């Protein structure tokens, strides 16, 4: 097969490209330039897509012996990932830019261009596995090493995209083995630190970065009953489940800490309350996809597990698709067996059956356990707590 290897400049993508060559594929390496003004050097393990990363990818391609190119995707990245991130925070939601990047850049824009140029697949260094079912259709599964498993951030991929994806590291038992292999292959990135945090905010100061772009104005911090308990300097800086940095002047009557329960950008208000009010008994989203074949009967509740963060533990749940007046395709509703703490709209809920990623939704509605307990017959509505 003709394979386009996405090379970030890190050790994982370099080894993945090398393994694709070793498997007999015709491989070409490409580095995605995602910023018009990339930093020259990384700050430790923060950030990615710098000039240094591009040079590391180029050296890795030369060592492997494959052609190498840099493709400018900065305009698409800004529109589909950075601007989306700003818009979601402005709307009071908590976005996951890695999900959007995989969905709209690496496995949409990149794959689209790769297929147009005659490539059969895009290869990346993600830790996940693709397994074919009896009909030959692709299924996305967890990696062998659960500590490094990245199937969650790939949960947005569709069957068509999985059909043209390749993850050579999926069966690797540990990152240490990947680094040892890189060193044995003579790759200079063998000991390079992993990148983390949001790639376009390399200093990690999300609050300051957002304030520079959307502005900040003072507003009230209130209890669920509307009692004002403090002031904030910009609602966009807060996210559901946050405890630190609330700067509430007076303690709660019971002396226990407060947590952010809701962010209301329209009236610039942050709602806080006790930890137990973070417990969510139901979550759902109109924007949902299936990673491979959909359930044969998606309207009847089916057993699954749900994961709402990349490194969160999966939680037993029941899921189904229900009718929704605002959406032709309805919405995916997930009811965990036990309430989940700190679920925020804008996050992605990935649904698994065993090791298989069945599908995902962008959460736009949640129902708090205490609300559901008092009115069990009610319909879910956005922001219910």
Read off the pLDDT of residues 251-293 as tens digits, 9 standing for 90 and up.
777 778 889 998 888 788 999 998 888 999 999 999 999 999 9
- Is the pLDDT at 67 greater than 90? The verdict is yes
Is CATH 2.60.40.1120 correct for 279-374? no
pLDDT category, 380, cuts 50, 70, 90? very low
Q: Which of 49, 123, 199, 304 is catalytic?
A: 199
Nearest to 308 by CA among 153, 91, 197, 87: 153
| pLDDT number for residue 49 | 67
Q: What is the mean pLDDT of residues 350-368?
A: 95
Greater pLDDT, 270 or 342:
270
Q: How many CA atoms lie within 13 A of 112 on its CB side?
A: 8
| pLDDT number for residue 35 | 79
Read off the pLDDT of residues 205-262 as tens digits, 9 standing for 90 and up.
888 888 888 888 889 999 988 989 988 988 887 888 888 888 786 777 777 888 999 8
Read off the pLDDT of residues 92-104 as tens digits, 9 standing for 90 and up.
888 889 899 999 9
User: Chain-wide mean pLDDT for the chain?
Assistant: 89
Q: What percent of the chain has pLDDT over 90?
A: 62
Could you give the C-alpha distances from 178 to 59, 66, 196, 263, in angstroms and in order? 17, 19, 18, 42
Could you give the C-alpha distances from 345 to 235, 284, 376, in angstroms and in order? 15, 9, 21
Read off the pLDDT of residues 331-341 as tens digits, 9 standing for 90 and up.
999 999 999 99
Q: How many CA atoms lie within 13 A of 197 on its CB side?
A: 15
Under 8 Å between Cβ of 251 and 258? no
Which of 132-136, 190-194, 324-328, 349-353 shows the lowest mean pLDDT across its residues? 324-328
Domain boundaries, the chain: 2-184, 216-273, 279-374
Q: Which of 101, 123, 304, 361 is catalytic?
A: 101
Give the fold, CATH level 3, of 2-184.
Rossmann fold (3.40.50)
199 flagged as catalytic: yes
Residues 27 and 47: their CA atoms lie apart, in Å, by: 27
Residues 349 and 334: their CA atoms lie apart, in Å, by: 9
pTM over 0.85: yes
Read off the pLDDT of residues 139-165 as tens digits, 9 standing for 90 and up.
999 998 877 899 999 999 999 999 999
Q: What percent of the chain has pLDDT over 70?
A: 92
Cα radius of gyration (the chain): 22
123 flagged as catalytic: no
Greater pLDDT, 203 or 11:
11
Q: The domain at 216-273 falls in which architecture?
A: Roll (2.30)
| pLDDT number for residue 34 | 87
Residues 342 and 337: their CA atoms lie apart, in Å, by: 16
């Amino acid at each position: 097969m003709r394979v386009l290897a996405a090379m970030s400049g890190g050790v994982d993508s370099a080894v993945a490209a090398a393994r694709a060559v070793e498997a007999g594929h015709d491989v070409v390496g490409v580095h995605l330039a995602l910023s018009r003004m990339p930093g020259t050097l990384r700050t430790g393990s923060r950030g990615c897509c710098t000039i240094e990363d591009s040079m590391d990818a180029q050296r890795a391609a030369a060592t492997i012996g494959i052609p190498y190119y840099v493709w400018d995707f900065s305009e698409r990245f800004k529109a589909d990932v950075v601007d989306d991130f700003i818009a979601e925070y402005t709307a009071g939601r908590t976005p996951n830019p890695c999900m959007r990047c995989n969905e709209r850049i690496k496995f949409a824009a990149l794959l689209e261009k790769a297929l147009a140029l005659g490539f059969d697949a895009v290869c990346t260094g993600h830790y996940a596995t693709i397994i074919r079912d009896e009909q030959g259709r692709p299924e996305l599964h967890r990696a062998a090493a659960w500590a490094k498993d990245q199937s969650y951030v790939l949960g947005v991929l569709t069957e068509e995209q999985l059909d043209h994806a390749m993850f050579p590291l999926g069966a690797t038992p540990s990152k240490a083995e990947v680094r040892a292999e890189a060193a044995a292959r003579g790759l200079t990135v063998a000991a390079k630190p992993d990148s983390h945090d949001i790639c376009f905010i390399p200093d990690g100061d999300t609050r300051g970065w957002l304030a520079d772009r959307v502005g900040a104005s003072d507003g009230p911090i209130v209890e669920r009953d509307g009692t004002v308990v403090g002031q904030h300097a910009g609602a966009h800086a807060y996210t559901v489940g946050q405890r630190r940095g609330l700067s509430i002047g007076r303690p709660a009557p019971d002396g226990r800490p407060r947590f952010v329960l809701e962010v209301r950008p329209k009236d610039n208000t942050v709602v806080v309350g006790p930890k137990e009010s973070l417990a969510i008994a139901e979550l759902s989203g109109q924007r949902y996809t299936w990673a491979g074949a959909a359930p044969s009967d998606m309207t009847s509740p089916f057993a699954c597990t749900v994961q709402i963060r990349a490194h969160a533990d999966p939680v037993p749940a029941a899921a189904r698709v229900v009718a929704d007046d605002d959406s032709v395709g309805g919405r995916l509703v997930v009811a965990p067996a036990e309430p989940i703490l700190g679920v925020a709209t804008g996050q992605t809920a990935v649904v698994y059956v065993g090791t298989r990623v069945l599908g995902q939704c962008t959460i736009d509605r949640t129902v708090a356990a205490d609300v559901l307990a008092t009115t069990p017959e009610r319909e879910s509505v956005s922001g219910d707590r």
